[in-house]
Amino acid sequence: MGVREIQAKSILQKSGLPGADYVINPYTGCVHGCVYCYARFMKRFTNHAEPWGSFLDAKVNAPELLARRLAHRRLPLTDCVLLSSVTDPYQPPEKKYELTRRILEVLARHDAPISILTKSDLVLRDADILARLSDAGVGMSFGVADDAWSLRLEPRASPPSRRLAALRALRDRGIRVNAFVSPFLPGVSDIRQIVDALAGVVDAFAVEAINTQAGTWAATLAVIARRDRSLAKECNRLACDPQYWRALEMQARMLAAQAGMELTGFFHHRDLTGRLNVSPETPKA
Ligand code: SF4
């Protein structure tokens, strides 16, 4: 899988996402290859013919561009910068390019509040920078807690067991950590297993139902069907069943309370009568 080096024209974008004032995407594309990825709409802004998940553009001038931008206009110290919304800032080529690390170094000079969202334990490499910031948080998403399912659904992301170990290690360094249970796949994701895994690691988590309207549902069901055809049929049926989602939300609240955690939100993509919602504005899974 080739990586194309590109020169970005801008790097710090205003964000409409909850909890983020700005967003930085050091790469275009994502080679983690999650089958359900909501960010694949970004492909139309590239000139790649390859499928989403099999190309990556590295914005090699991103750290210098950011440093120049912040030299001209400082960020208000209260404005939170999210890395990232339509790519993963710690996918494998980051080991070589260190774009995210060098961006963090620039942001650290301004002591900007930083929020990281990733599915990779490579984030541990940058714990030294994150630990010296006054306001830095790392979030990981867990659609499943099971490594074998993750390998099928998110083939090149760190397995959930390594993501959890990374969150634990970051927390032990005094860095704030959180979890996003997303996307929740009926019959495949196991809310009890996920809450058990998160207990003692994070204080709070949010859940997001799978978005069946993101253009990736058929491919996701096909991956599930390769392991268990009847489970895929059941997953499809439950995903459209408002009663299922209502019961799941109640169960998630109960399990969170039992584990001494807070459920900070439950994002539905249908209202509880079954009609499609306008999707809540949530970051990529
Ligand atoms: S869901 Fe996130 S980690 Fe997975 S391919 Fe998409 S951007 Fe990458």
How confident is the model over 205-263, as pLDDT tens digits? 999 999 999 999 999 999 999 999 999 999 999 999 999 999 999 999 999 999 999 99
Residue 198 falls inside a structural domain: yes
Q: By residue range, what is the domain housing residue 40?
A: 3-267
Q: What is the mean pLDDT of residues 120-129?
A: 98
Residue 182 falls inside a structural domain: yes
Q: How confident is the model at residue 279 (pLDDT cuts 50, 70, 90)?
A: very low
Residue nearest to atom 6 of ligand 1 (CA): 37
Residue 275 falls inside a structural domain: no
Atom of ligand 1 nearest to the CA of 52: 5
Contacts of 149 (CB under 8 A, 6+ apart): 188
Indicate if ligand 1 lies below 6 Å from the C-beta of 285.
yes
Alpha helices in 123-213 (DSSP H): 127-131, 147-153, 160-172, 191-198
Q: Give strand pairing partners of 4.
A: 57
Residue 273 falls inside a structural domain: no
Residue 191 falls inside a structural domain: yes
* Residue 74 CA to ligand 1 centre (angstroms): 30
Q: How far apart are CA 222 and CA 199, in angstroms?
A: 32
Report the residue among 23, 25, 27, 32 best suited for mutation to probe ligand 1: largest number of ligand atoms under 8 A from its CB. Answer: 32
How confident is the model over 153-201, as pLDDT tens digits? 999 999 999 999 999 999 999 999 999 999 999 999 999 999 999 999 9
* Residue 263 CA to ligand 1 centre (angstroms): 23
- How many domains, in total, are found in the chain? 1
Locate 177 and state its tokens: 């950590």
Residue 134 falls inside a structural domain: yes
User: What CATH number should be reported for the domain holding residue 179?
Assistant: 3.80.30.30
How confident is the model over 52-85, as pLDDT tens digits? 999 999 999 999 999 999 988 776 667 899 999 9
